[in-house]
Chain A
Amino acid sequence: MKKVLLLAVFALASAVTYAGGYRVSLQGNKSLAMGHTGVAVINSSELVFFNPAGLVYLEDKFNVTGGMHGVFSNIAYQDTETGANAQTDSPMGTPFYLYASYKATDWMAFGLGVYTPYGSTVEYEDDWAGSHLVNNIDLAAIYIQPTVSFKINDKLSFGGGPIYVTGSVNFNRNLNRTLTDLEGNRANVTIDASGVSSWGWVASTMFNPTENLHIGATYRSEIILDAEDGTAEFENIPNSPLTPFENTSIKASLPLPAEMTVGMSYDFCESWTVAFDFNRTFWDVYESLDIDFANEDIPDSKNARNYKNASIYRFGMQYEATKMFTLRAGYYFDESPVRDGYFAPETPRNDSNNFTAGLTVNLGEHLQIDASFLYSHFKEVDASYNYYFENGRAVPFSGTYKTNAFVPGLGLTYKL
């Protein structure tokens, strides 16, 4: 599958690029259908991601669940001053997950998860109005996470484990707004790094004040991906000592921020559950993105990012309608980590309202089909990115953005 990050490059003098809020909250069809709540919902091995401590309260001895989502995301851009306009033609993103839990004893459970919480796939038409910032980007990170959980008693449990991350990025943009070769082809650079790996950890707890009320908290550590041997490939560079761009290797690092989640769920009237989660993503670690080109003739690229910590408020509901069907719905409000003036076209995230729904179909005792759907609504927004520089002078890239995303998902759960 896909990769991870870093990115960027420089312009002739200095430069800039920029990764946006590249968190992809699609870590389970059951949870997503409930607004991606789950830190305090006990229903499947999706807990490996949402709250490992809860695994000890699963009724199943063995629970494995997996699935994927198809991300259909579209970005439209226009500048009413010039008439410039663009529409992304991004391929479908395919985040996936696979979790397994095994209850070794009444008080201890093991879990294993593979999931993709960070990533982005955006493709603009080459040489569009913002091509000096991005033509296309494809980044992904795969988390592999074994966990162990201990039950203190029926009210309290703890869980956690290490996380191994492997990631990659491929990013292309034009060097600046005007440089071309003799034939008029825009000079551009592709940054590529893959197999970038690192370690982190997760820790969580679950508290059940009553049989129907669950409270959970999960902390997932920050992970910095350091690309040591990425490549920078330059294309359409004029044959001149004035443009000394040659393919070279690069070093860069990109943080996958820590995330704290607290939440609760409440079961009522036999077959109903409501859930509330609060996420805090510690984006402030993402202060600057620096690309170190091995070739000393090419100036290193230092790019302020200045992200701010951001919160997400999630609500979900579940109704076990029949023995066969469980219905779910949810909503969440997702705050953008991007500050004013840092709004770049490669991940143009403003605040979004998100609506989810889904269901589980029970096929007998052991097998479930999980389906979900997410619609992300972003308001039309006038925004600009003010940290692109030409000859030491900031040249803002501004315009109106309108983004949406449709995310259907499908998964299977097998339990014993």
Chain B
Amino acid sequence: MKNILKYTFALLAVGFVSCEPEFDSPVTDDGFYSSGTANLSKYVAVGNSLTAGYADGALYITGQKNSYPNIMAQQFAFAGGGEFYQPLMDDNIGGLLLGGNQIAENRFVLAVDANGNPGPVRLVGNPTTDITNHLPSTYNNMGVPGAKSFHLVAPGYGNVAGVPIGAANPYFVRFASSESATVLGDAVAQNPTFFSLWIGNNDILSYATSGGSGVDQTGNFDPTTYGGNDITDPNVFASVYSQQVDALTGSGAKGVLVNIPEVTSIPYFTTVPRNAIPLDAATAGALNAQFGAYNTQILPGLVGVGIITPEEAALRMINFSAGQNFPIMTDDDLTDVTAILQGPPFSLPAPLATLLGQLRQVKSDDLIVLTASSVLGTTPDPSNPQGVIGVSIPLSDQYVLAVSEQTRITAASMAYNATIEALAGAKGLAFVDAKTALARVANGGIPYDGGVLTSQFVTGGAFSLDGVHPTPRGYAYTANLIISAINETYDATIPMVRIGNYGTITVTNN
């Protein structure tokens, strides 16, 4: 009896497979969503770390799976999009090896310390992605962490031999088609029907994250002479960028261009307060007494002999008070008076002259970088408890993005953005104003079904633990912005994603 029932039901089961419920108009039907005048069958994404899905200070698998191009490609699949391949890393630790030696750090995770305080720490573990293991395939995601605009057209950028000397990019080494290949060339060789191009961020960002320690190369048209933290000349940017757009649209592909956000939109520059030094009245008074001669004699003296302007003298005044105080810092945009102070009439001893050489206090419009949080207020020499960074030892210039430095970044990024928007208009390409969008995240935030997406470090949801790169939720928001621009420009109806379904930071204790 039981067996008869079993067989009967088994036979019926076969018959009912075809009886699955059908919607009147299933989302999986061709034509439910439209790509409009765009052809999404072969999508190639070109860019830097943002395109690669870099997050938490590293590239790792789950970050790559939540890259904005991969999120977009999954939505493109509803409107004729094809497969989307990425040069996935070998683990979720992050970090890179070159012949077994680690050359890039592991990712950050949010760990809870012994006192119960959560904070970002590097994940402990041995990375397994060795860049000498070359990936033979081609990849739709041509995002190369660290790439600047001119790198995309630089032959040899994927040559492993160039990595130790900084002439090549370890991420591109993994999947460059040859030692002499360019990122752009490998992208174009895939004959994309649709592309996205988001490049230029690093042309200002490395200058910014290094606290302006590089050089503004505006006026220098030879990028081979640039240092890693320099600002790219806007004409160089315009030249290589239009070369890239021309190449990508060469066979009639449609695409989308994304502009460069302000560095002030990201928590790397907005998390550490500018007045992070708490002082009581007695300490403030003692400090003021120590700097009294500097304020009232040295600075006026320097103005008097015409070494510095009265404006610079005003800028260099040091003044503490009870409560929160701005730290002292070294600003390499100030006139270096170290040598002068050692001569007459000042005749200061060398260590004091060095201390005062380019000294000023942080101002309310300076930006202090995230990494300063582990330096400010510390005593680097344990035997000298008086030697406190920001109070008696100036904060290094690399930790502060001064107003003068911000001005250079703004000028360059405005020029880049003008190029990007003009090219999008001229070529009829979709254009995404990421600058405005990110400013909105930073100022008030973006409401979504589970809360508000903001650029608050750790808790805001938009930015990963490196303070620069988005979380999966931040990338999902980016993907929606781009999809929206594509839909508008190409009369498409590609569905967006729900950003609340995408995670933010990863908690784990080592």
- Specify whether A and B are partners: yes
Chain A interface size range: 35 or more
Q: Which residues of B contact A (CB under 8 A)?
A: 1, 4-5, 8-9, 12-13, 16, 19-24, 26-28, 32-33, 61-62, 65, 75, 78, 92, 109-112, 116, 118, 123, 449-451, 473, 495-498, 500-504, 506-509
> What are 24 sample pairs from A and B whose C-beta atoms fall under 8 A apart?
A68-B5, A70-B9, A70-B12, A74-B20, A76-B23, A78-B26, A79-B27, A81-B495, A81-B498, A92-B9, A129-B501, A178-B500, A180-B503, A184-B92, A238-B508, A240-B112, A240-B508, A242-B110, A391-B450, A400-B23, A402-B21, A402-B22, A404-B20, A410-B4
* Closest chain B residue to A403, Cβ basis: B21
A87 contacts the other chain (CB 8 A): yes
* Closest chain A residue to B450, Cβ basis: A390
**Number of A-B residue pairs having CB atoms within 8 Å of each other in the complex:** 124
Cβ distance A376 to chain B, nearest Cβ, rounded Å:
11
Q: How far is the CA of A361 from the CA of B357 in the complex (A)?
A: 107
A72 contacts the other chain (CB 8 A): yes
Given A243-B507, A406-B16, A406-B19, 6 other A-B residues pairs in contact with their CB atoms under 8 A:
A72-B13, A74-B19, A84-B27, A85-B26, A177-B450, A380-B23
A296 contacts the other chain (CB 8 A): no
* Closest chain A residue to B78, Cβ basis: A83
Are B24's CB and A177's CB within 8 A? no
* Closest chain A residue to B63, Cβ basis: A184
Are B21's CB and A76's CB within 8 A? yes
Are B19's CB and A404's CB within 8 A? yes
Please judge, given known A-B contacts A238-B507, A403-B21, A406-B19, whether A83 and B5 are in contact too, CB under 8 Å: no
Please judge, given known A-B contacts A92-B13, A395-B500, whether A241 and B23 are in contact too, CB under 8 Å: no
Are B27's CB and A78's CB within 8 A? yes
* Closest chain B residue to A87, Cβ basis: B20
Are A85's CB and B21's CB within 8 A? no
* Closest chain A residue to B66, Cβ basis: A184
Q: Which residues of A contact B (CB under 8 A)?
A: 67-68, 70, 72, 74-76, 78-85, 87, 92, 94, 129, 177-184, 238-243, 378, 380, 390-391, 393, 395-396, 400, 402-404, 406, 408, 410, 412
Cβ distance B328 to chain A, nearest Cβ, rounded Å:
37
Cβ distance B25 to chain A, nearest Cβ, rounded Å:
8
Cβ distance A76 to chain B, nearest Cβ, rounded Å:
5
Please judge, given known A-B contacts A390-B451, A403-B21, A408-B12, whether A179 and B503 are in contact too, CB under 8 Å: yes
Q: How far is the CA of A241 from the CA of B117 in the complex (A)?
A: 10
Our pick among B8, B12, B496 for the contact of A81 (Cβ within 8 Å) is: B496
Contacts of B109 in A (CB 8 A): 182
Contacts of A395 in B (CB 8 A): 449-450, 500
Cβ distance B482 to chain A, nearest Cβ, rounded Å:
15
Are A82's CB and B495's CB within 8 A? yes
Are B23's CB and A390's CB within 8 A? no
* Closest chain A residue to B500, Cβ basis: A177
* Closest chain A residue to B111, Cβ basis: A240
Contacts of B116 in A (CB 8 A): 241
Cβ distance B443 to chain A, nearest Cβ, rounded Å:
21
Q: How far is the CA of A85 from the CA of B65 in the complex (A)?
A: 19
Contacts of A393 in B (CB 8 A): 450-451
Chain A: interface secondary structure?
loop
Q: How far is the CA of A410 from the CA of B5 in the complex (A)?
A: 7
Contacts of A412 in B (CB 8 A): 1
Contacts of A70 in B (CB 8 A): 8-9, 12-13
Contacts of A378 in B (CB 8 A): 21
Contacts of B26 in A (CB 8 A): 78, 85
Cβ distance B117 to chain A, nearest Cβ, rounded Å:
11
Contacts of B509 in A (CB 8 A): 239-241
Q: How far is the CA of A51 from the CA of B457 in the complex (A)?
A: 67
Are A180's CB and B506's CB within 8 A? yes
Contacts of A408 in B (CB 8 A): 8-9, 12
Please judge, given known A-B contacts A82-B496, A184-B62, A241-B116, whether A72 and B451 are in contact too, CB under 8 Å: no
Cβ distance B447 to chain A, nearest Cβ, rounded Å:
10
Are B503's CB and A178's CB within 8 A? yes
Q: How far is the CA of A380 from the CA of B24 in the complex (A)?
A: 8
Cβ distance A316 to chain B, nearest Cβ, rounded Å:
22
Are B62's CB and A183's CB within 8 A? yes
Q: How far is the CA of A72 from the CA of B16 in the complex (A)?
A: 7
Cβ distance B325 to chain A, nearest Cβ, rounded Å:
33
Q: How far is the CA of A79 from the CA of B496 in the complex (A)?
A: 11
Cβ distance B448 to chain A, nearest Cβ, rounded Å:
9
Cβ distance B230 to chain A, nearest Cβ, rounded Å:
36
Q: How far is the CA of A323 from the CA of B318 in the complex (A)?
A: 111
Our pick among A76, A83, A241, A242 for the contact of B75 (Cβ within 8 Å) is: A83
Contacts of A184 in B (CB 8 A): 61-62, 65, 92
The 9 residue pairs across chains A and B that have the minimum distance between CB atoms: A184-B62, A178-B503, A70-B9, A402-B21, A83-B495, A240-B507, A83-B78, A72-B16, A390-B450
Contacts of B24 in A (CB 8 A): 380
Cβ distance B34 to chain A, nearest Cβ, rounded Å:
12
Please judge, given known A-B contacts A72-B12, A242-B112, whether A396 and B449 are in contact too, CB under 8 Å: yes
Are A178's CB and B507's CB within 8 A? no
* Closest chain B residue to A391, Cβ basis: B451
Our pick among A76, A241, A380 for the contact of B20 (Cβ within 8 Å) is: A76
Cβ distance B83 to chain A, nearest Cβ, rounded Å:
17
Q: How far is the CA of A182 from the CA of B108 in the complex (A)?
A: 11
Q: How far is the CA of A150 from the CA of B449 in the complex (A)?
A: 61
Contacts of B19 in A (CB 8 A): 72, 74, 404, 406
Cβ distance A68 to chain B, nearest Cβ, rounded Å:
6
Please judge, given known A-B contacts A180-B62, A241-B112, A410-B8, whether A74 and B28 are in contact too, CB under 8 Å: no
Q: Which of A81, A82, A129, A393 has the largest count of B CB atoms less than 10 A from its CB?
A: A82
Cβ distance B54 to chain A, nearest Cβ, rounded Å:
16
Are B21's CB and A82's CB within 8 A? no
Contacts of B13 in A (CB 8 A): 70, 72, 92
Cβ distance A202 to chain B, nearest Cβ, rounded Å:
27
Are A239's CB and B508's CB within 8 A? yes
Q: How far is the CA of A67 from the CA of B4 in the complex (A)?
A: 11
Cβ distance B116 to chain A, nearest Cβ, rounded Å:
7
Contacts of A406 in B (CB 8 A): 12, 16, 19
Please judge, given known A-B contacts A74-B20, A80-B27, A406-B16, whether A182 and B450 are in contact too, CB under 8 Å: no
